[in-house]
Amino acid sequence: MQPIVLGPNMPRQFYRGAGRIARFRGDGAPEDRPEDWVGAATPRFGLAPDGITRLPGGDLLSDAIAADPVAWLGAEHVARYGANPALLVKLLDAGQRLPVHVHPDRAFAAGHLASPYGKTEAWIVLEAEPGAAVHMGFRRDVAAAELAGWVRDQDVPAMLAATNEVPVTAGDAVLCPAGTPHAIGAGVLVLEVQEPTDFSILLEWQGFLPGPDGASVGLPMDEALECVHRGAWTGERVASLRGPGVTGAAGSLLPAEADPFFVTERLGAGGFGPSYALLVVTDGTGTLVPESGPAIAVGRGSTVLIPHAAGPCTLTGDVRAIRCLPGR
């Protein structure tokens, strides 16, 4: 079982991209699609199998993993998570500001959505226009009735004014815990690493959806809003969610708070051990050499699915990459 260089997997979305994924990948990815679901075994909410990666032979990745989970994921992973990779990775191109929305945490997902996973996520900023920013967390305590009123009336200016606006530049890494109201601003290309669900509760749908149908993962909106963390975030809390980022020394890009959910590692030339992983090459060119099997040419924009059974691998050349792994 060898690493697999992936083509684009870009299901339709309700917001605009700006062609950044196509330019980053350089492989004919459609310019009008804002997301590339990299090695995804998770479907879009309510639209399965849309979103799941198809392997070169045409099989769904989720089916291939279910047929031989130990080879794909490793025995230790299967003992902990079963046949779920416990990871979802995307390239996301914000051609416009995304709507204010929130993802449920694990406790809410278990109680309301029959899932052991919520959707804590992180953003590794690959490209950013001057002045780019993300909105995350409320700057002050927000009462339940006030939030419900904003959502009912679609008072987006009030929602945005209550959030922390966090500037971002290329190389930044930001953790967004589940339950956090947030919106990615226009003008960025991010590598988005998250728990393996597609649970999104839109607090803002005006201009994105025809109406509130589809905004609350099938729950009544008042019930869905119970997952929102409405407490104030201090500047210290916001700062604690920034990791070392892409430009730091080799190691994790994210704060330790991310580790139970997913791990992202900076890689240059050198070896790494066996694990189910998704590799995204951010700069340069080189080769990925598995323990047994042919060397694979990689370069900026390459996305590679690495099964556990591929064994130890080595990157060679003038190349920099991000390896995404399940939580630990």
Domain that holds residue 139: 4-240
Same domain, yes or no: 83 and 143: yes
Same domain, yes or no: 292 and 184: no
Give SS3 for 209.
Answer: coil
Reported as a pLDDT band with limits 50, 70 and 90, residue 246 is: confident
Angstrom distance (rounded) from CA 87 to CA 39: 9
Angstrom distance (rounded) from CA 35 to CA 191: 10
Is residue 32 within 8 Å of residue 88, measured between CB atoms? no
Same domain, yes or no: 202 and 94: yes
Mean pLDDT of 277-306: 96
Same domain, yes or no: 317 and 201: no
Same domain, yes or no: 106 and 188: yes
pLDDT for residue 249 is more than 80: no
Distances (CA, A) of 321 to 247, 250, 309: 11, 10, 21
Q: What are the tokens at 200?
A: 């999104």
**pLDDT tens digit sequence for 79-107:** 999 999 999 999 999 999 999 999 999 99
Neighbour-count burial for 154-169, b at 16+ CB within 10 Å, e otherwise: eebeebbebbbebebb
Global pTM reads: 0.96
Domain boundary among 186, 218, 240: 240
127 domain residue, yes or no:
yes
Is residue 89 within 8 Å of residue 191, measured between CB atoms? yes
Query: Which residues 6+ apart lie within 8 Å of 15 measured at CB?
Result: 34, 94, 95, 96, 98, 99, 208
Same domain, yes or no: 295 and 172: no
Higher-confidence position of 62 and 292: 62
Of residues 135, 255, 148, the one with CA closest to residue 203: 148
pLDDT for residue 273 is more than 70: yes
Number of domains making up the chain: 2
62 domain residue, yes or no:
yes
Give SS3 for 87.
Answer: coil
Mean pLDDT of 135-141: 98
Residue 252's pLDDT is: 87
Same domain, yes or no: 101 and 217: yes
Residue 248's pLDDT is: 59
Reported as a pLDDT band with limits 50, 70 and 90, residue 305 is: very high
**pLDDT tens digit sequence for 21-73:** 999 999 888 888 999 999 999 999 999 999 999 999 999 999 999 999 999 99
Reported as a pLDDT band with limits 50, 70 and 90, residue 292 is: confident
Residue 177, amino acid: P
Residue 28's pLDDT is: 82
CATH of the domain at 311: 2.60.120.10
Q: What is the mean pLDDT of the chain?
A: 96
Give percent above pLDDT 90 in the chain.
94
Give percent above pLDDT 70 in the chain.
99
Is residue 163 within 8 Å of residue 184, measured between CB atoms? no
Residue 250's pLDDT is: 62
DSSP 60: B
Residue 27's pLDDT is: 86
DSSP 183: E
232 domain residue, yes or no:
yes
Same domain, yes or no: 173 and 294: no
Same domain, yes or no: 60 and 161: yes
**pLDDT tens digit sequence for 177-195:** 999 999 999 999 999 999 9
Neighbour-count burial for 202-223, b at 16+ CB within 10 Å, e otherwise: bbbbeebeeeeebbbbebeeee
Same domain, yes or no: 151 and 283: no
Same domain, yes or no: 107 and 129: yes
246 domain residue, yes or no:
no
Q: Are strands 88-94 and 35-38 parallel, antiparallel or unpaired?
A: antiparallel
321 domain residue, yes or no:
yes
Same domain, yes or no: 143 and 279: no
Angstrom distance (rounded) from CA 65 to CA 323: 19
Element (H, E) at 318: strand 313-326
pLDDT for residue 245 is more than 90: no
Q: What are the tokens at 59?
A: 């099989």
Which stretch of 90-94, 224-228, 243-247 has the lowest confidence by average pLDDT? 243-247
Mean pLDDT of 123-143: 98
Of residues 23, 32, 196, the one with CA closest to residue 126: 23
Is residue 199 within 8 Å of residue 118, measured between CB atoms? yes
